[in-house]
Amino acid sequence: MSQMISVSEALKTLLSKETKVVVLTGAGISAESGVPTFRGEDGLWKKFRPEELATFDAFMANPELVWEWYEYRRKIIEEIKPNPAHLALVEFQNHFEEFDLITQNVDGLHNQAGSKNVVELHGNIKRNKCIRCGAQYETLEKTIKGIPPKCHCGGNIRPDVVWFGEMLPQDALNYAFKVSSDCDLFFSVGTSAVVHPAASLPLIAKRSGAYVVEVNMERTEISHVIDESLIGKAGKIMPQLVKFFM
């Protein structure tokens, strides 16, 4: 049996259902499920930099190459399952009366685990959209063929993710700022807290009076300004936090 984590009395008290809770997740939580990091692609893709594949200019210059790279990544993610940290956050959702889950990840594992109304700051690799008319494609119909596929309007269909040089979806970002500034308890889980604007969310929460906790394999740039750091795997720590629910 794994050793129970040590948490402060302040955090235990805040784990009551009336507490307004916001959780931000990053690549670390998905890495525990086996999702490769963005720069960790193997084989064929080692000769390309992400900046050469994850930009609108790259897609316009060589849409076939970019589409095939994202298909490769999708096939990897299709075989990957949510881990205990994802499942624990479903328990968080069910326990707290006011709960918001914000993620920087594009793998859709939170949705697969059963989380509802996930705020996806960087999009979702399982979705697609037309670059011309903006039509959304949750799944591509069999009649839509080609690499890359063509929309009914004739435009190229691209992955619905935020590429380098693109703005985050404004509605999602505004909502993330709003709930972060209005919560009582904020968790930063599996994120290095260096990629902005998401990295500013725990600091916004802290300045607004929230109790801020990070769950990460190591200390981060915000460790010295937040309230509590729980060092270790999210897949071990988050399920243990559920046991403290009041």
Q: Measuring CA to CA, which residue among 74, 199, 85 is closest to residue 125?
A: 74
Burial 174-201 (b: 16+ CB within 10 A, else e): ebbeebbbbbbbbbbbbbbbeeeebbeb
Q: What three-state secondary structure class fits 96? A: coil
Contact present, 24 and 102 (Cβ < 8 Å): yes
3 vs 1: CA distance, rounded Å? 7
Rounded (10°) angle between helices 234-242 and 84-95: 30
In eight-state DSSP terms, residue 122 is T
Cis peptide before 239 (omega within 30 of 0): no
The DSSP secondary structure of 172-193, one letter per residue, reads HHHHHHHHHTT-SEEEEES--S
Active site residue 122: yes
In eight-state DSSP terms, residue 4 is P
Catalytic residue among 86, 95, 110, 122: 122
Catalytic residue positions, numbered: 122
